[in-house]
Amino acid sequence: MDTQRKLRILADDSRYDLSCACGTKDGNHRRRGSGGVWMYPASLPGGGASIMLKTLLSNSCVNDCRYCPLRNDRDIRRCTLAPEEVADVFMEYVRQRKVFGLFLTSAVIRNPDYTMDRMTAAAEILRRRFRYRGYLHLKIIPGASDAAIEKALSLASTVSLNVEVPKRSALSALSKMKDFDRHIVRPMKLISNLTSPGSRFARVKQTTQFIVGASDETDSDIVRATFGLYRRLRLNRVYFSAYQRGLGDPSLPGERNVPSDPDAILTREHRLYQADFLIRKYKWDIEDIFFEGDGSLSLEIDPKQRWAERHPEFFPVRVLSAGRDALLRVPGIGPITAGRIIKTRRQGAITSLKDIGLRGKRLQKASKYVVMA
């Protein structure tokens, strides 16, 4: 199989791992590039966004993860790129100015350290032979040795080790080969320590991803785990990927319990991103996120609106005098709008939320919770 044929297969299979990008607008979705590869409008952990080439090094996997369409008992077309092939193809896209960076992930070939060795070999070719200094995201394979992780950190801009599920019992139900504490939690703590402020790899970002709905975890389980990842391990981003029915083992809880309506599945994923934003950007506490009786986030009302409904005593907020934190509690007002309010009221009178550019549904929503005083 030639390089382009392999790249087409592997880039396509990489779509199951979303730890470099997400988007809710049409312009933020991935698209096919020349040669069949996927181009991702990636939201970068340090802020900003750009176009990234994403591919698997290999889809030949020894693992048994029951949610994964590449697991070892599946009869699919398997192939592997050599490190030199990855580097050559990527640098051609760089020369054509089609991409900003590379996200390199892989199924587990032979064992975790062998796979890490192949991925870091590709990274070394880029960094040393081609003198590439741009953005490089490397996946950390669960079960990789400390030495393999350190080598990846020495080459990458960002690394990600996917936590997949929020608790030990959930992973045990999804894989007999992965140990939650040894293969997931311990290496994530190691990466956190190695990338702490003032450390040798402080410049490297760490992200992770949850598979939402493959197991029987609740939104409360996921959000609480997310809160801990930000507060205790200082992760830069947590991503969420709605489980896609039909790709995993038919006996998975997700195959039985995931709603057949795709809109409901994606709304659940979106609600998790909204809760994540409140925790990550607004610095909300976990107690500020309200769940339904079954531990789920409401599909009808976003988490910020739910907080407002539970705290009528907090409102109305006085637009002309309230601080930034109080303004951010108002449904429909985000960080940009709050900053615009504070800046505009210093320069002159605000008579309406329209004066600071609020329109449509956001204006209708916010107007219920503020007074112009």
- Predicted pLDDT of residue 20: 44
Section 81-90 average pLDDT: 95
pLDDT at residue 317 is higher than 90? yes
Chain region(s) in the chain for CATH 3.20.20.70? 3-249
Q: 373: pLDDT confidence band, cut at 50, 70 and 90?
A: confident
CA distances for 288 relative to 76, 224, 238, 311, angstroms: 45, 11, 19, 10
- Predicted pLDDT of residue 24: 42
pLDDT at residue 363 is higher than 90? yes
Section 27-36 average pLDDT: 50
Mean pLDDT highest for which of 42-46, 272-276, 347-351, 355-359? 272-276
Helices 262-280 and 219-233: angle between axes, nearest 10 degrees: 30
- Predicted pLDDT of residue 100: 84
The CATH class, in words, for 3-249 is alpha beta
Angle among Cα 206, 19, 90 to the nearest 5 degrees reads: 95
Q: Output the average pLDDT for the chain.
A: 88
Cross-strand partners of 53 = 39, 102
- Predicted pLDDT of residue 243: 84
- Predicted pLDDT of residue 161: 97
- Predicted pLDDT of residue 263: 79
Please list, in sequence order, all residues whose beta carbon lies within 8 angstroms of the beta carbon of residue 279, skipping any fewer than 6 positions away. 223, 226, 227, 230, 286, 289
Q: What is the sign of the dihedral through the CA atoms of 246, 240, 56 and 170?
A: negative
Q: 37: pLDDT confidence band, cut at 50, 70 and 90?
A: low
End-to-end CA separation in angstroms for the chain: 70
pLDDT tens-digit readout, 265-306: 889 999 999 999 999 999 999 999 999 999 999 999 999 999
- In CATH terms, 311-371 corresponds, of 2.30.30, 1.10.287, 1.10.3470, 1.10.150, to 1.10.150
Chain region(s) in the chain for CATH 1.10.150? 311-371
The length of the chain, given as a count of residues: 373
Q: Long-range CB contacts (< 8 A, 24+ apart) of 8-11?
A: 8/35, 8/36, 8/37, 9/59, 9/77, 9/79, 10/55, 10/56, 10/57, 10/58, 10/59, 10/79, 10/81, 11/36, 11/37, 11/38, 11/53, 11/54, 11/55, 11/56
- Predicted pLDDT of residue 78: 93
Q: 248: pLDDT confidence band, cut at 50, 70 and 90?
A: confident
- Predicted pLDDT of residue 33: 54
pLDDT tens-digit readout, 66-78: 888 899 998 889 9
pLDDT tens-digit readout, 194-238: 999 999 999 999 999 999 988 889 999 999 999 999 999 999 999
Q: 179: pLDDT confidence band, cut at 50, 70 and 90?
A: very high
pLDDT at residue 264 is higher than 60? yes
